[in-house]
Amino acid sequence: MMATRPNLVRDVAIAAVALIILLLLPYVWPSKMVNDLIIRVSAFALFATSLNLLVGYTGMVSFGHGMFFGFGAYAFGLSMQRLGVSIPMAFLITVVSSALLGLVVGAISIRLKDIYFSFITLAFQMLLYSTVIAWVPLTGGDQGLMGGIPRPPFLGIDLSIEAHRYAFAVTIMVIGLLILRQIVESPFGYTLRMIRDNSERATFLGINVFRAKLTAFVIAGVFGAIGGMVMALFVSGAYPEFVNWTMSGEGIFMIMLGGLSTFVGPAAGALILSLLNDVITRGTEHHGLFLGAVILLFALGLRKGVTDFVADWFRLRREASSRSGS
Amino acid sequence: MARKRVDLDRRTVLKGAAAGAAATIFAPNIVAAQSKVVRIGMPTILSGRVAQLGTSSRNAVQMEVEKINAAGGLAGRQIEMVIRDSKGQPQEAARVSRELVNSDGCEILLDAEASSGSFAVQEVAKDLGVLVMHTNSETSSLTADPKIRIPLAFRSCRQGIHDAVASGAYAAEIAKAKKLNRWGTCSPDYAYGRDNTQLFVEYLKHFYPQAEVTTEAWPKLFQPDYTEVITRVLQSKPQALYSALWGGDLTSWVDQANIYALFSQMEVFAINMADYTALTAVKNLPKGIHSATRYIKTYPATKANAEWGDAYRARFKEYPTNWSWENWVGINFIAEAAKKANSADGKKIAEAMRGLKIDCPFGTDGTVTMRADDQTVIGYAIGWGTTIPQEPYVPEVKGATWDTILQLEAEWKKRNNYT
């Protein structure tokens, strides 16, 4: 525990600087398009980083993580529309309900390994997707939650104002990533890495692997749902596409593009994928072809994410300087 | 001549590349001669399963914009369309719409999205305060429900409740004449399919109370094999069958139902059959399927409609679709309202558009009206007829009466607490 203290101070400092930069950005670069992009990236960064807690840190390749993203969007939207509660209350409802969902789905899924785990998570996601499509009176079916999500002001924050919405989204992202960072750097985070590398060894060391995996699954689910909530606030609605398997696919792409061996990799991947999507959609209708080609290039050609290259470059430089120094 | 070598260090290149990329990606095009050109943003579906509908919307708008621009544009400002693909995803429709307004400097949105996308675009329009014309969303609540309606949003296309009344009235007349009391339904299992079918049955019974639904089949959206659905319908032996299947689903279903000779065993009412995309895709189009007109150049049987259909076909080598005429109506309402207001300003156009009547090849009497109280179009041609396997596919169409439609629509609105 003592060893994590300096890291905590460093992480908080980095998060504070990042937050200040993001909050000042609209004043330096007043572009609504950049603001919109960063809000969406905030949602996706939480989603992809939480997925990486499972994929990269625990070795559980979930194909159904989009379930939490969509669930978060619907839970938040429905709480606001139907219950008429305040935004912090709806946030709390989203967090608690997604944790319960994670607990139920996780308790069943993590008993299975490898591809079976991947597929059962996908199956749960499709179950939720079908429910959203079929339960028209509650969810609006394929048309999504119609009529907009109300955004009543709270604590002096009015999310119907674009500047407030932007500040809220980036603050949630930075705090969310900071918490996730503390989790992966904690003894629990290292337990997850041990389970990933050798779960038998972890069992023999007296670790309750099931409980550790389930905890990771629930935490990932909650942060995935918070990502969905940010997205719901941005589009003022929730749509079945958020719960569809393609959302899980995009999460995996983000991790692949950004790199799974660094903490910020998935967030960088979220930025890259969003940028690629926006730029390619502007230029061509054959965006699937171009996006697919880029992903193929990463998967087959580079075999690493962008931040993996950056990390390697730093490592090599450090090694070179230590060699020359010695 | 010796070439001068330009020294570029890595940092300079990186800086230049970053600046270039940023300029390309984020360049605000708002400055693009705002006073001269008025940009209209058009999010639509240009890829995926229903791309043909999006493309046909774009085609129709391009044809009309050329004419409007030749006649002086919007109050002297030339229209420049900025058309983007939303992939049929509502969140993309929202993103693209915001981008069109915030970054591309579009002052008006022509929303050629399917229903779910149109609700997302409506939220963007509400947020950004821009004029939006929904050209394809048939979901009645978009304009009927006062909780969803906004002052700057209009609709230029058909809507579910109008279709349901017209369909119920037509089907009831046939049912009365042929004593069709036992009905079956076979519609796609999602919001549109369920809503459409439920409303049809409601108005069928309104006009012909003896009608009774004895079997219901709900195939999945985009289902490839309809064998089970078809055999179930055949076993229950209804005298008539109603279907809200559309597009590729409808043509697959007709092809497969043909194998079982379904069409010779019952009267079939397929609301979405009479659209060229479906009529021309079916392998052996059976004679005698009842269908509502979506777009067909023979109805309204006017010179203007036939000429427009032919001009479109001559230019794009295919017939227009249901979405084509709806976009024609959308862009022309904007142009006529701008003329009336003598301004290209969204709010002034909106003001001029409420209650506006324009000449239109797709109107029952050669005109369509933008109803003032809920900002949706009325008076467009709705009719039903039966198919033949070759052109003109639906030779005779019986037009619906708008008086009946409007009266029953008013009752429907009251029942739903929309008024």
Digit-coded pLDDT (tens) for A133-165: 888 888 888 778 877 888 888 888 888 888 899
The pLDDT of residue B10 is above 60: no
Chain B segment 378-417 residues within 8 A of A by beta carbon are: none
Shortest CA gap A104–chain B (Å)? 27
At residue B31, the pLDDT reads 43
Share above pLDDT 90 across residues of chain A, in percent, rounded to a whole number: 56
Judged by a CB distance cut-off of 8 A, whether residue B223 touches chain A is no
The pLDDT of residue A122 is above 80: yes
Q: What confidence category does residue B35 fall into, taking pLDDT thresholds of 50, 70 and 90?
A: low
Among candidates A143, A234, A287 on the partner chain, residue whose Cβ is nearest the Cβ of B191: A143
At residue B33, the pLDDT reads 42
Q: What confidence category does residue B11 fall into, taking pLDDT thresholds of 50, 70 and 90?
A: low
- What CATH class has B32-160+303-378? alpha beta
Judged by a CB distance cut-off of 8 A, whether residue B53 touches chain A is no
At residue B309, the pLDDT reads 94
A297-306, B98-107, B246-255, B307-316: least confident range: A297-306
Q: Does A294 map to a domain?
A: no
The pLDDT of residue B23 is above 80: no
d(CA B412, CA B406): 10
Chain A residue nearest residue B113, CA to CA = A143
The pLDDT of residue A69 is above 50: yes
| Cross-chain Cβ contact A143/B126 below 8 Å | no
Among candidates B46, B147, B192 on the partner chain, residue whose Cβ is nearest the Cβ of A147: B147
Q: What confidence category does residue A114 fall into, taking pLDDT thresholds of 50, 70 and 90?
A: confident
Beta strand B153-155 pairing with B383-386: unpaired
| Cross-chain Cβ contact B190/A36 below 8 Å | no
Judged by a CB distance cut-off of 8 A, whether residue B120 touches chain A is yes
Taking contacts as CB-CB distances below 8 angstroms, the residues of chain B near A241 are 89-91
Strand-pairing partners, residue B384, are: B292, B398
Domain with CATH 3.40.50.2300 in chain B: 32-160+303-378, 161-300+382-415
At residue B2, the pLDDT reads 42
Judged by a CB distance cut-off of 8 A, whether residue B24 touches chain A is yes
| Cross-chain Cβ contact A241/B89 below 8 Å | yes
The pLDDT of residue A223 is above 60: yes
Mean pLDDT for B199-212 is 95
Q: Does A275 map to a domain?
A: no
Q: What is the domain range of residue A130?
A: 4-258
d(CA B122, CA B128): 10
The pLDDT of residue B3 is above 50: no
Q: Which tens digits make up the pLDDT trace of A272-281?
A: 999 988 888 8
At residue B193, the pLDDT reads 86
Q: Does A95 map to a domain?
A: yes
Q: Does A236 map to a domain?
A: yes
Interface test with A, best of B53, B104, B116 (most A CBs within 10 A): B116
Taking contacts as CB-CB distances below 8 angstroms, the residues of chain B near A237 are 90, 94, 119-120, 123
The pLDDT of residue B277 is above 60: yes
Q: Which tens digits make up the pLDDT trace of A193-212?
A: 999 998 889 899 888 999 99
Mean pLDDT taken over chain B: 89
Q: Does A130 map to a domain?
A: yes
The pLDDT of residue B376 is above 70: yes
At position A74, the amino acid (one-letter code) is Y
Higher pLDDT, A300 or B219: B219
Question: Model-level pTM greater than 0.90?
Answer: no
Q: What confidence category does residue A2 fall into, taking pLDDT thresholds of 50, 70 and 90?
A: very low
- ipTM > 0.85? no
The pLDDT of residue B5 is above 70: no
Closest-CA residue to B42 (of B110, B136, B95) = B110
Q: Does A326 map to a domain?
A: no
Contact yes or no for B406/B162 (Cβ under 8 A): no
Q: Give φ, ψ of B241 to 5 degrees.
A: -135, 135
Please list, in sequence order, all residues whose beta carbon lies within 8 angstroms of the beta carbon of residue B341, skipping any fewer than 6 positions away.
B75, B348, B349, B351, B352
Tell me the two tokens of residue B153: 């949003």
Taking an 8 Å Cβ-Cβ cutoff, which residues of chain A contact chain B? 31-34, 36, 40, 133-134, 136, 140-144, 146-148, 160, 162, 231, 234-237, 239-242, 275, 278-279, 281-282, 285-288
Q: Does A88 map to a domain?
A: yes
Q: Does A314 map to a domain?
A: no
Higher pLDDT, A119 or A322: A119
The pLDDT of residue B19 is above 60: no
Contact yes or no for A305/A260 (Cβ under 8 A): yes
The count of structural domains within chain A is 1
At residue A161, the pLDDT reads 85
d(CA B121, CA B111): 7
Write the CA distances from B161 to A77, B46, B171, B204, B363, integer angstroms. Answer: 27, 27, 15, 13, 18
Q: Which tens digits make up the pLDDT trace of B211-241?
A: 999 999 999 877 889 999 999 999 999 999 9
Share above pLDDT 70 across residues of chain B, in percent, rounded to a whole number: 92
Q: B161-300+382-415 — its CATH code?
A: 3.40.50.2300
Taking contacts as CB-CB distances below 8 angstroms, the residues of chain A near B115 are 142-143
Contact yes or no for B219/B194 (Cβ under 8 A): no
Tell me the two tokens of residue B182: 């036992």
| Cross-chain Cβ contact A241/B51 below 8 Å | no
Chain A residue nearest residue B189, CA to CA = A134
Taking contacts as CB-CB distances below 8 angstroms, the residues of chain A near B194 are 136, 141
Phi/psi-derived region of residue B330, left when phi > 0, alpha when psi is between -120 and 50, beta in every other case: alpha
Judged by a CB distance cut-off of 8 A, whether residue B28 touches chain A is yes
Peptide bond into B238 cis (omega under 30): no
| Cross-chain Cβ contact A142/B190 below 8 Å | yes
At residue B290, the pLDDT reads 96
Q: Which tens digits make up the pLDDT trace of B64-114?
A: 999 999 999 999 999 999 999 988 888 889 889 998 998 889 999 999 998
Shortest CA gap B142–chain A (Å)? 8
Taking contacts as CB-CB distances below 8 angstroms, the residues of chain B near A286 are 47
Closest-CA residue to B61 (of B405, B321, B370, B348) = B321
